[in-house]
Amino acid sequence: MSLQRRIQQLAESPPDEFTEEHYELFAEFKEELNRGEARAAEKVDGQWRVNHWVKHGILLGFKLGHVENFSAGARLPFYDKHTYPPKLISIEDGVRIVPGGSSIRDGCYIGRGVTCMPPMFVNVGAYVDDDTMIDSHALVGSCAQVGKRVHISAAAQIGGVLEPVGAMPVIIEDDVLIGGNCGVYEGAIVGERAVLAAGTILTGGTPVYDLVRDEVYRRLANSPLKIPPGAVVVPGSRAITSGKGAELGLSVYTPIIVKYRDEKTDASVRLEEFLR
């Protein structure tokens, strides 16, 4: 029986007590997460799809786990499920982790050439592809999928979506620049080579106005919010046109696409290559 089917069966009908066989099955599953062979979402025929069984397996790890002491001395206490200890990374993995308090949870994939600036955090189920930089105070949430050569700037939040199981996790495609203090949540997809200016927030409930193509992008019932490839998105606002908000001259936040990447944009983001 395949790993997928065994995980699904255990998740659907968990026993009153877990046996050593169950823990071995979960360890096998977690190794596939660590190798990037099991992913919470993947692109098939040009479209992203959720792998429900992977999310079920990650949630299973919390049921299987008991709280264990991971403290680094009396003054640095840490207690977490024993199924999700800190990820073991060796020099042979080709990952650069700068000293200063970063944490990567076991059960996620970290590609070669990834740079982790302190302090940052990568949660279980995340996939971070080669040559990506995760800057200080940045978060890569559970099940978030991050492509190659992405720059996640300081204090940016890449929200993960573990539950509900059927929901699309946040997707950041290749060569995207996420500016400082940005937030990407609720399964939003940021297309390859897009740029989010500092302070841009993307959520499923906030429409994005494309001034170049005269389009408005929204989350639909069967589709997450999608930022087109190469879009340059900045924080903006739109006026309230009715009711008390209009009387008071109020506006609400909205992201705005002001241009698409050109040579000038490429030159400004190319500077980061010297930091790798």
Dist. CA 142–CA 50, nearest whole Å? 13
pLDDT for 35: 97
pLDDT for 271: 55
pLDDT digits (tens, 9 = 90+) for 23-60: 999 999 999 999 999 999 999 999 999 999 999 999 99
pLDDT digits (tens, 9 = 90+) for 160-193: 999 888 899 999 999 999 999 999 999 999 999 9
Q: Locate 52 and state its tokens.
A: 């429900």
pTM of the model: 0.94
pLDDT for 157: 98
Dist. CA 90–CA 204, nearest whole Å? 38
pLDDT for 263: 79
pLDDT digits (tens, 9 = 90+) for 117-148: 999 999 999 999 999 999 999 999 999 999 99
We find that the CATH architecture of domain 95-262 is 3 Solenoid (2.160)
pLDDT for 221: 84
Split at pLDDT 50, 70, 90, the class of 275 is low
Query: Strands, DSSP E only, in 151-227?
Result: 151-152, 157-158, 171-172, 177-178, 183-184, 189-190, 195-196, 201-202, 208-210, 215-217, 226-227
pLDDT digits (tens, 9 = 90+) for 65-106: 999 999 988 888 999 999 999 999 999 999 999 999 899 999
pLDDT for 264: 77
Q: Locate 179 and state its tokens.
A: 């500016």
pLDDT for 265: 74
Split at pLDDT 50, 70, 90, the class of 267 is confident
Q: Is the pLDDT of residue 266 over 80?
A: no
pLDDT for 164: 85
Helix axes 52-64, 3-12, angle to 10 degrees: 60
Beta-bridge mates of residue 217: 208
pLDDT digits (tens, 9 = 90+) for 233-265: 999 999 999 999 999 999 999 999 999 998 777
Domain boundaries, the chain: 3-67, 95-262
Among the listed ranges 13-27, 71-85, 209-223, 262-276, which one has the minimum average pLDDT value? 262-276
Class of domain 3-67 as given by CATH: mainly alpha
pLDDT for 205: 86
pLDDT for 272: 59
pLDDT for 276: 59
Among 76, 127, 66, which residue's Cα sits nearest to residue 101?
A: 76
